[in-house]
């Protein structure tokens, strides 16, 4: 029962996860702990060849977009760096499950 917004969030969830792990591998520098929030749109474009438009998600800031998929990626409060708690070898079906759980929560909130 996925709708367009569920597919968009699934894509965002997976792409931010990939971005965190790909950047870490590519940088190979212990001083570069990750992508700073202010550079997220640049690296998103660099890795995925598409613009990161926060207005597409109906919010005004990058942190608000990342909060939508906080089960897969977060912005660290102390360093403002994009992080993920998911292991590099996380299977794609886990992202589908996370998206489905979030869809059910949204649907329940609408129904109540």
Residue pair 47/61 in contact by the 8 Å Cβ criterion: no
Does the structure show a pLDDT above 90 at 83? yes
Q: Mind listing the pLDDT tens digit for each residue in 44-82?
A: 999 999 999 999 999 999 999 999 999 999 999 999 999
Q: Residues 26, 27, 33, 36: what is their CA dihedral angle, to the nearest 10 degrees?
A: -90
pTM above 0.75, yes or no: yes
């Amino acid at each position: 029962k996925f709708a367009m917004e569920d597919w968009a969030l699934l894509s965002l969830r997976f792409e931010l996860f990939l971005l965190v792990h790909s950047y870490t591998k590519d940088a190979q520098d212990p001083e570069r702990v990750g992508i700073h929030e202010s550079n997220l749109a640049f690296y998103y474009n660099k890795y995925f060849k598409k613009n990161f438009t926060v207005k597409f998600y109906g919010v005004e800031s990058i942190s608000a977009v990342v909060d939508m998929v906080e089960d897969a990626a977060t912005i660290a409060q102390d360093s403002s760096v994009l992080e993920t708690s998911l292991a590099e070898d996380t299977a794609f079906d886990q992202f589908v499950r996370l998206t489905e759980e979030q869809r059910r929560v949204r649907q329940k909130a609408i129904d109540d």
